[in-house]
Chains A and B, each alone.
Chain A
């Protein structure tokens, strides 16, 4: 199907299709390369950023830790605190300490004496294990920070000992900041495209306010958290998609307080902006590549059209015009390349054709002129011969017939001697007439001006009867018998009746003239598509050498010369006439044993039928 279609479609279509296909392939390939590169780039960037961010957050967490510790130290040195702890009366100090703590961003304050009895406390429930440990450390004089759970909320706490004037530890101050959303937002510098969370004992303690989706939801998160608790930093290299279908990069790192891993710090970067950037880049690329492809396509299209399609179309049109007969048409040569060479070859071929045709036309014209000349010359010859015939016959009419009138006594009595002489005149005049007829016939034959008057349905039986009668008249007074062995119903022939009779008279009267005794036999029969007539005599016969001369014009055989009659043209004329009928005339003879003349007429000669039509 496709192959068939391609065979039928034009060259420019095929080239254009190829061009478009190439352009599409280039665009797809470019897009693939850009996408792959961008993905790995994005991975790398997000990992680096997460690592950097986690360091920053760790540091920031340390700052907050120090601030909590400093707040504890500040509160421990509030004037009158030692006295209040020793007396156990904190009523006068309580309000100022709580106000001060609030101004320092401290959520929880817990002051105990060395016996562990609370002097000032914002806590309502009993201290948990972690807090008790921190309080214990504070009472032995170790300033410590740590995570505690108080009132079911995670706190970052610091414990500082309180000493009296003598330097003895009389109690301690514990300050704590609740790790809640506000805490994490503070830690996270209140950013919205970057989310942070703190995970304590495998559970999410708090996350930044814009995070939306909770950290530690997936199995992978769980695994990362466990790894972080063991001290490893893990960053997802899969761009996990969040609820907004925006890919994220997530990282988990251990959160150390002092040197101990006490929680897990989680960060998440939203990659939406980056992806938007990539999409914009991709669109730009597509536009640029598309524009380049369009320019390339257009240029190649124009190039192909100018250099290939248009010249070929012009060549086609020119060749059609040439074939239509406009030989002056040439195609234009616009380049030196293969197409240009083709055009030049085509033009030189057209030149050759034009030259050859011109030569041919000249030759044709010459031939035509020669033919016209020949026809004119034939017509002139014919007219001359016709005129000769007329001019010679007219006086002979008078000679012969006036003499006859005298002989016949129409003009009065004539004596025997006069009659004999006048009879000689008539005979000579008739001989002269025959000579004239023969010479004119021969001239016509040799001039190619012999025209047959062709008729249908000529009866050979009738012609033979008439010719035999003439032959019989020539045998008067000679001991020669004339016999005919002619088939009764010979086919009717197409030919020139008068000329056919002339042929038959010629060979029959010849036989009768030359035969002194014996017989002359006329035979005729049909054989295939011919009628064959033979005339056999018992005359002197014709020698081998004379047989060659019988049919040559103006040559008479020795016997013929001795007989003293005729022009020697009878046989050549008869043969030419037979051949003009599409027939044949020949003889068989042996000197001293008589002669056989044959003539064959075709029943229907193609050539004669053509003349008649």
Chain B
């Protein structure tokens, strides 16, 4: 990990949250990582986000608002309009990835994630690259 990005991760699966927490906070020791459960949780903590995230990771299969709706919501906020937003999902079939691209995500990382390549991929996305990593 080259730098210390501010990361926001929204995910409704507790195991995935735990996993990412262990990776980002534990292993990569990033100081500003916020992990929220869903859109409600996001609304409650949105204003408290300081500094604003450099990158946002979004689960797709969430309720009540799914990843696409969250993306749309975020894009309407001044601070998030230019922020890289990446889908982190286990749905990696072509038609689903196609929907992600059309919706305006900056990339997609598939579950299961690859612990070894994850930091480097994150760096590349922060450098402005768009990555559609859907195959192991």
Contacts and interface: CB of A to CB of B under 8 A. Distances in A.
A393 B27 contact: no
A397 interface: yes
A96 to B, nearest CB: 161
A433 B136 contact: yes
B22 A498 contact: no
Interface in B11-56: 13, 15-16, 19, 22-23, 26-27
B18 to A, nearest CB: 8
Given A404-B115, A410-B26, A501-B135, A394 B93 contact: no
B27 A390 contact: no
B90 A390 contact: yes
A282 interface: no
A401 B92 contact: no
B90 A398 contact: no
Given A390-B61, A390-B90, A390-B91, A410 B135 contact: no
A386 B96 CA distance: 8
Contact of B22 (A393, A405, A440): A405
Contacts of A385: 93
Contacts, number: 79
A410 B16 CA distance: 17
Interface in A328-356: none
Contacts of A410: 22, 26-27
B119 interface: no
Interface string B73-110: 00000000000000001111111111000000000001
A233 interface: no
B131 interface: no
A396 B112 contact: yes
Given A382-B95, A389-B92, A402 B19 contact: yes
Interface string A365-399: 00000000000000000100110011111111110
B95 A400 contact: no
B94 A496 contact: yes
Nearest to A505: B135
A554 interface: no
Contacts of A397: 15-16, 19, 90, 111-113
A64 interface: no
A271 B16 CA distance: 138
Interface of A: 382, 385-386, 389-398, 400-402, 404-405, 408, 410, 430, 433-434, 437, 440, 444, 451-453, 496, 498, 501-502
Interface of B: 13, 15-16, 19, 22-23, 26-27, 61, 89-98, 110-113, 115, 132, 134-136
